[in-house]
Amino acid sequence: MKEIGLFCGTFNPIHLGHLLIAECARDQFALSKVLFVTSLLPPHRSGGLLPGRDRHLMVQAAVDSNEHFEASDLELNRPGPSYTVDTVKQVIAQYGDVRVNLIIGGDNMPFLKEWHRAEELVSLCRLIVVPRLRYVGEASPPDLKSGVIKTINQMQADSSEDYGLKNAHIAVVDFPGIAISASTIRKRVAAGKSVLYMVPPEVDRIIGEKKFFHKNDPAEQMKVETK
């Protein structure tokens, strides 16, 4: 049985942190490939996104040089909100005898039980959890449960019941975290600052050529996608 990584996100824009997470997960868990799935309209987001095809263009450019990475537009081709459980089922149907490894940020874990058909979701895949990073200048961010940031070892000791889920298979990816966020990148671009090496050169070129996130093009910054 092949192991496939599934990394779903808005990627608004994709950056080096995303790529590093995916590569560390691929290496640690012997994933045959990692699918980067660009979300169309996540249920928890209502605006502030570039159109899906624009974000997907940057994802394609970012992963093209890695033979183990693949940009997927399956959620862009599916109408309505992007429910992860539907994406996992679609990947299983497409690839057959595989185990899906859903790459998910640690800060999402306390809320996973509230996701659409959460119990079905965790029955279909292994959860590869990315420990949450503390960003420079951030004041006392909450962790998964207790109000302090957990170490990798602490997260590994957690069980699915700690998150209100039954029988979830949870593993933690060990990676040399870098504190890069898409929101910081957007702010820097809007302020006319460089984001090269926060994003791959190919993505930096696309952002510059198409004026994505630029302050003088607010329509691109705040465009809301519809069904």
Q: 216 in a domain, yes or no?
A: no
**Residue-range definition of the domain harbouring residue 143:** 2-180
Q: Which residues of the chain have pLDDT under 50?
A: 135-157, 159, 218-227
Q: 202 in a domain, yes or no?
A: no
Task: For residue 32, give every residue at least 6 positions away whose Cβ sits within 8 Å of its Cβ, in sequence order, or none.
Answer: 2, 3, 4, 68
Per the structure, the count of domains in the chain is 1
Rounded to 5°, angle at Cα 12 from 196 and 45: 155
Q: 208 in a domain, yes or no?
A: no
pLDDT on residue 71: 98
Quote the CA–CA distance of 128 and 112 in Å, as a whole number: 13
Q: 198 in a domain, yes or no?
A: no
Quote the CA–CA distance of 170 and 158 in Å, as a whole number: 8
Q: What's the Rg (C-alpha) of the chain?
A: 17
- Starting at the edge strand that comes first in sequence, how are the strands of the sheet with 125-130 ordered? 69-72, 33-38, 2-9, 98-105, 125-130, 169-172
Q: 78 in a domain, yes or no?
A: yes
Please count the helices (runs of H) and the strands (runs of E) in the chain: 8, 6
Q: 165 in a domain, yes or no?
A: yes
pLDDT in tens, 170-185: 999 998 878 899 999 9
Q: 114 in a domain, yes or no?
A: yes
Q: 140 in a domain, yes or no?
A: yes
Quote the CA–CA distance of 112 and 120 in Å, as a whole number: 12
pLDDT on residue 146: 38
List b or e across 57-95, with b for residues whose CB sees 16 or more CB atoms inside 10 angstroms.
Answer: bbbbbbbeeeeebbbbbbbbeeeebbbbbbbbbbbbeee
- CATH code of the domain containing 168: 3.40.50.620
